[in-house]
Amino acid sequence: MDNILDQIKAFGVVPIAVIDNEEKAVPLANILLENGMPIIEVTLRTDSALRSIEKIAKECPKILLGAGTVLNVEDAQKAIDYGAKFIVSPGFNPKIVEYCNYKSVVVLPGVLTPTEIQNAVESGVKVLKLFPMESIGGLAYLKAVSAPFRDVKFIPTGGVNNNNLLLYLKHPKVLACAGSWIIPSDKIANGQFGEIADLVRQAIATILGFNIYHIGINSTSAEDARIIVNQLQKIFPFENIEKENSIFIGSQVEVMKRACLGQHGHIAIATNFIDRAIAYLANRGIGIKPETKNEENGKLRTVYLDVEIGGFAVHLIQI
């Protein structure tokens, strides 16, 4: 169960789908897989929902598949039998929680008030769907209602979109966010999978925030590094900052005092969430070099990827 929650956290977002034609289910799931978001919650709001879950489970086993709008134990039982790996309900139903705990299936009940949160916690649930998020006060409400519950994480749902997604994800009590803005029901119904792919990529770009942070140039020694810096400064009036292992020229060029990873140097890519970036890249077949991990205050700060591009190593940096 913890593995499922870890995956949801790593993805950062749960796209919610309303599918009224099961023939659209697998193409939709494939769009998510192909564009780096291997997770979906299919809501039980249509007659095609369970058949859609069954098709996705059989034909797209690499996607993390959940069922939403689960209103009773019978719904939960059917969804699990058809292949759902996690269950989401709009409210807190202790019978659903009890059944899912019995089946060792992750359940994410919806809550709104401190009383509902407390009841859910007493039933053994530590990750809760907070719904409807924006209608009840948004981030300010989340901060207020979550404060007494130190060990509880939330998945804000309802009104979350690309404009406020990052604000929610940066709050320490938020495990992930959920919403249908990534895979709108009208675009699913009309088979507009190209437009859905664009929305998926936009959400990932918002979450990860990849950008080039600086370029590193290898040299053979501190003396060699200073020669390179002096050559640049004769042409451009850049300030430099000398550090133990390198010299920065401005903020975006780093001249190393020795030969480091990469034939020529390295490219530093900044990201909003380094752990989520690692998970995203892993799903695209790009790993990390674990021995290069560098932590600050117990949190991962930088790590090199196991790729080299044009003679440059590539590392991620948490900003």
157: which DSSP letter? B
Residues linked to residue 48 through DSSP beta bridges, in sequence order: none
Active site residues: 41, 129
Is the per-residue pLDDT at 206 higher than 90?
A: yes
Token pair in block for residue 19: 């599918």
pTM of the model: 0.94
Is the per-residue pLDDT at 1 higher than 90?
A: no
**pLDDT tens-digit profile of 38-97?**
999 999 999 999 999 999 999 999 999 999 999 999 999 999 999 999 999 999 999 999
Location of each CATH 3.10.180.10 domain in the chain: 211-318
The 10 Å Cβ neighbour count of residue 212 is: 10
User: Average pLDDT for residues 288-313, to the nearest whole number?
Assistant: 97
Say which CATH topology domain 211-318 has.
Answer: 2,3-Dihydroxybiphenyl 1,2-Dioxygenase; domain 1 (3.10.180)
137: which DSSP letter? T
Tell me the CATH architecture of domain 2-208: Alpha-Beta Barrel (3.20)
State the residue for tokens 């590193």.
216
Residue 102 makes CB contacts below 8 A (sequence gap 6+) with none
User: Average pLDDT for residues 270-275, to the nearest whole number?
Assistant: 98
Closest residue by Cα to residue 154 from 298, 318, 139: 139
